[in-house]
Amino acid sequence: MSLWKIALRSMQQRLLASSLTGLSMALGVALVITVLVILGVIRDSFGRGAQGYHMIVGPKGGKLQLVLNTVYHLSQPIENLPWSYYKKFKTPGKENFGDYVATAIPFCLGDNYEGYRVVGTTREMFTKLEYTAGRKYEFAAGRNFLQTGFFEAVIGATVARQTGLKLGDSFMPTHGVSENEDGHVHEDKFKVVGILKPTGTPNDRALFINIEGFFLLEGHAKGPGVPHAEGEAAAHAEHHDEHGDHHHHHHEPLPEDQREVTSILVVVKNDLYAAGLAQKINEGLEAQSVAPTREIQLLMEEIVRPIEWLLLFLTTTVVVVAGIGILVSIYNSMNDRQHDIAVMRALGARRGTVMSIVLLESLLLALGGGLVGVLLGHGLIGAIDPIVESRTGVSVGFLQFEGIELILIPGLTVLAALVGFLPSLAAYRTDVAKALTARP
């Protein structure tokens, strides 16, 4: 029997015997890959959602809560601002903010549809704002709601896919910001006139309705004793717009003194105005200005980043333990393999050759398990894609890749060399005469 046949037979036997150890390595690497990609998705989702405007203006209270509620459709609204305060952003003058503001978009919250947030806003949300730097909203189907289309709606891509709502369909919002709340279903129906293209932001998971229709819903008017006519939707006169679509038109919008907004998205005319305008707003007693990107950076640094490092530590520990398992498995096998090693030496194999064979075995176990782990990790990511997309609006797939994955293979190579050193050293020191005498 030749030297290399003996070496290959010995290595094959050990690789089969160590398959369980290789599987633990694969599972460890799969966990690392999954954690890296999911955390990357979280960072990307939070980062993209907080762009497109300079500040959010809302009632005094928790800054992070205001951002989560307005931008990410999470948490609960704080309070409301009077409509007269919103008008300050549209009006120039010393006591107002219009001289600094290019665009001010009102947000009214308080309803949901099948667990997805319903947002009352103006059509300028989709004509004057960017959902992220340099990217404007586009419609996959239909159009923007009209200013006179009080009961028209535009829905996000995820909402359309998950609820089955299509162009021309109608829905009735439920009072309360989540499906778990015991809220009543409004009697007024909103017609879907537009479906947005996917943006990869939380707005994919929202339904946007004309703010005029939002104000006319029961319980949305400011002040006690404000009546709401039941079946009011039936009293909305229908007429055809310039696009040929029929829509509801209400000739008596809610008076301004009965209106409130939850928050305001503000774009300033010049970036230099942002700090001064924020200071002016914050000095007042009614509202606060919040820079969403800064609050999200603080959230990531103070809360998400420590969790990220903890998860990476735990998953990396699994890989290291799997590497130690490879070391123990190969080292424990050295007594059974001394005869094969002695025969190889007797046939002319050098000590360095024998040592290299054992190191190669360790390398194959580590890298083989690692490559299988990469495939398993990305396969798991592809499998959970529907869940991630429904929660974040960000699609992940089998080919979703994080740059830090590039260090996995070099890292596994170093780990294989370390765990294979002791077994290879034992092979290097094998006493040929003693081993051949012990097993003739």
Residue 266: strand, helix, or coil: strand
Domains of the chain: total: 2
**Residue 226, domain member (yes or no):** yes
Identify whether residues 158 and 132 lie together within a single domain. yes
Q: Are residues 29 and 125 in the same domain?
A: no
Q: Count of CB atoms within 10 A of residue 377's CB?
A: 25
SS3 72: coil
Q: Decide if 229 is inside a domain.
A: yes
Classify residue 367: in a domain, yes or no. yes
Positive or negative: CA dihedral 166, 168, 174, 175: positive
**CA torsion angle for 39, 292, 113, 240 (degrees, to 10)?**
-130
Q: Give the domain-ending residue among 223, 256, 290.
A: 290
Predicted TM-score (pTM) of this structure: 0.71
**Is residue 122 in some structural domain?**
yes
For residue 349, what pLDDT is reported?
Answer: 61
Q: Are strands 116-121 and 206-210 parallel, antiparallel or unpaired?
A: parallel
Q: Answer yes or no: is 84 within a domain.
A: yes
Question: In terms of residue numbers, what domain contains 185?
Answer: 55-290
Is the same domain home to 221 and 328?
Answer: no
Assign residue 9 a region: left if phi > 0, alpha if psi is -120 to 50, beta otherwise?
A: alpha
- Residue 50 domain flag: no
> Mean pLDDT by 10-residue block, N- to C-terminus, for the chain (440 residues)?
51 53 77 82 69 90 90 85 95 91 95 94 94 88 95 95 94 84 84 93 93 93 55 40 45 87 95 92 92 83 81 81 75 64 63 71 77 84 74 63 74 76 64 55
Whether residues 160 and 259 share a domain: the answer is yes
Number of Cβ within a 10 Å radius of residue 185: 12
Single residue among 259, 290, 321 that ends a domain in this structure: 290
Tokens linked to 381: 């990511």
* 90/60 Cα distance (integer angstroms): 21
Question: Reduced to 3 states, what is the DSSP secondary structure of residue 116?
Answer: strand
Cβ atoms of residues 438 and 340 within 8 Å: no
Query: In angstroms, rounded to a whole number, what is the distance separating the alpha carbons of residues 138 and 159?
Result: 16
- The pLDDT score that the predictor gives to residue 3 is 47
Domain shared by 155 and 224, yes or no: yes
Quick one: tokens of 280? 């002016």
Residues found in the chain: 440
Question: Which residue among 223, 255, 290 closes a domain?
Answer: 290
Quote the distance between the C-alpha of residue 178 and its chain's center: 19
37 shares its domain with 144 = no
Q: Are residues 283 and 171 in the same domain?
A: yes
Q: 394 with 319, same domain? A: yes
Residue 346: the pLDDT is: 62
HSE of 24 in the Cβ direction (CA atoms, 13 Å)?
15
Q: Do 72 and 32 fall within a single domain?
A: no
Q: Are residues 207 and 350 both part of a single domain? A: no
Q: 36 and 14 in one domain?
A: yes
The pLDDT of residue 325: 77
What pLDDT is recorded for position 267? 94
DSSP code at position 185: B
**Whole-angstrom distance, CA of residue 159 vs CA of residue 57:** 26
Q: State the residue for tokens 């960072």.
A: 43
Residue 183, in any domain of the structure: yes
Tokens standing for 132? Answer: 């992220």
Indicate whether 87 belongs to any domain. Answer: yes
280 and 329 share a domain? no
Q: Which residue, 276, 291, 279, 261, is CA-closest to 52?
A: 291
For residue 387, the model assigns a pLDDT of 72
